[in-house]
Structure 1
């Protein structure tokens, strides 16, 4: 992991359909109950069009704006064109570090950040942890043989406890 980023960046990695989004959605309120402010970075391999043709933001980007920030009550959206595929380090620059204690990353499974692998044997995919030294634990509904800590995918509280302990988050709660 880049030395600029604190131990408060942690990824959930796994193949499509493994349950990353479901686990992450369950973890956020549990971590919030522990007093943590959580930011999320979601990676997609698919082209997304949030600034649809005909909308002002799309018009500004099409006209050549380097970036467009759309601000409305309680939300802010940022649109920019990228020349190449993004990297997690680039996305971490966008995080408001004063407004969060922990950044959870969904996807970026090949990044050099600590990750919890989300695995389902039914997908017939190999364990990522066999070839990724950045994976620090596994969440699965299956019985697996691994030296890493293992958690039941259906027990987000246990995964939350692990995250808080691993990141020493209790020390960073303001």
Structure 2
């Protein structure tokens, strides 16, 4: 899906609220963020971005860029001590970024996800003035070697995730108004 997107969040015309409008371009699975024609950030060429949303996903009062992407490997340059080599599978990930001083900075990046994300939104579902991440999850389909894709025929389920200081935690069914 190719799209151009400009976003106005709560009176803030930018992720960094400097009053200049950002332009978000998702073309051929590559996300580019521009300001006044200048490229501020572009996703790496080995990522395949399939969706993004702007919102305060971690409830710290700052707008974040939340993206879903497909990439090889699970940990990047920082691996848990028990791993001796990088994971070679290509799977789905969720990354959270923030724009500060004209530079995109990682806030949080997932390892490969157990279930790939079909779609997601940031919403206050329980009216407590804190945002949750509402996710539609599918299933993987192996296509070749260690490469996976979203199985278009798999059953989709909705889950709700809440930021919990270090990362996201699944909201139990009894607390989730979607059940």
TM-score range, shorter chain: under 0.3
More helix by share: 1
More strand by share: 2
Give the TM-score taking structure 1 as reference length.
0.24
Give the TM-score taking structure 2 as reference length.
0.23
